């Protein structure tokens, strides 16, 4: 039961991110891209802004596919498949610390993100997800 609760909680939380990315990408809430100063700056260059919007929508679409697959797993998968999906989430989420975290820390240090130290908050939040996924996989 704990695995289903963790998956449903993640689906709900990430759905807010998908909705923000699709319908309010400039928002500073729900982990949208408004926290990056480059979002507003890109609007001065339509070609670049269109590319940035494309990438934002690509991320949202990828997250949506992922969330729908998790929904199928939680609704129709047996406990073993659900626990394996938690391990997959751990590994996939760990990739944040390989490429994305160093980049967002750099942007944070160079004052390209508001609020300041957002990268730390995001890093802690993502680490907490990894811990919850791991616990759910082994409980």
pLDDT for 68-102, tens place per residue? Answer: 999 999 999 999 999 999 999 999 999 999 999 99
pLDDT band at 8 (very low <50, low <70, confident <90, very high): very high
pLDDT band at 1 (very low <50, low <70, confident <90, very high): confident
User: What residue has token string 């990438």?
Assistant: 55
What is the predicted pLDDT for the residue at 119?
96
What are residue 113's DSSP bridge partners? 36
pLDDT for 113-130, tens place per residue? Answer: 999 999 999 999 999 999
Report the alpha-carbon distance of residue 41 to residue 117 in Å, rounded.
Answer: 20
Q: What's this model's pTM, rounded to 2 decimal places?
A: 0.89
pLDDT beyond 90 at 131: yes
Buried/exposed code over 99-119 (b: 16+ C-beta within 10 A; e: otherwise): eebeebbebbeeeebeeeebb
Report the alpha-carbon distance of residue 5 to residue 74 in Å, rounded.
Answer: 9
Q: How far is CA 61 from CA 29, 49, 78, in A?
A: 18, 18, 26
Q: How far is CA 58 from CA 54, 62, 125, 128, in A?
A: 6, 6, 22, 25
Report the alpha-carbon distance of residue 115 to residue 131 in Å, rounded.
Answer: 25
What is the predicted pLDDT for the residue at 104?
97
Residue 113 contacts residue 120 (beta carbons within 8 Å) = no
What is the predicted pLDDT for the residue at 139?
85
């Amino acid at each position: 039961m704990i695995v289903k609760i963790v998956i449903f909680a993640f689906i709900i939380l990430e759905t807010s991110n998908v909705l923000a990315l699709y319908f309010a990408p400039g928002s500073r809430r729900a982990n949208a891209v408004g926290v990056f100063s480059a979002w507003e700056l890109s609007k001065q260059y339509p070609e670049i802004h269109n590319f940035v919007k494309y990438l934002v929508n690509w991320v949202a679409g990828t997250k949506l596919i992922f969330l729908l697959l998790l929904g199928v797993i939680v609704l129709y998968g047996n406990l073993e498949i659900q626990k394996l999906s938690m391990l997959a989430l751990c590994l996939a989420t760990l990739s944040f610390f390989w490429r994305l975290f160093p980049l967002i820390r750099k942007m944070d240090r160079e004052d390209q993100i508001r609020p300041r130290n957002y990268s730390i908050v995001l890093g802690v939040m993502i680490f907490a997800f990894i811990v919850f996924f791991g616990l759910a996989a082994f409980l």
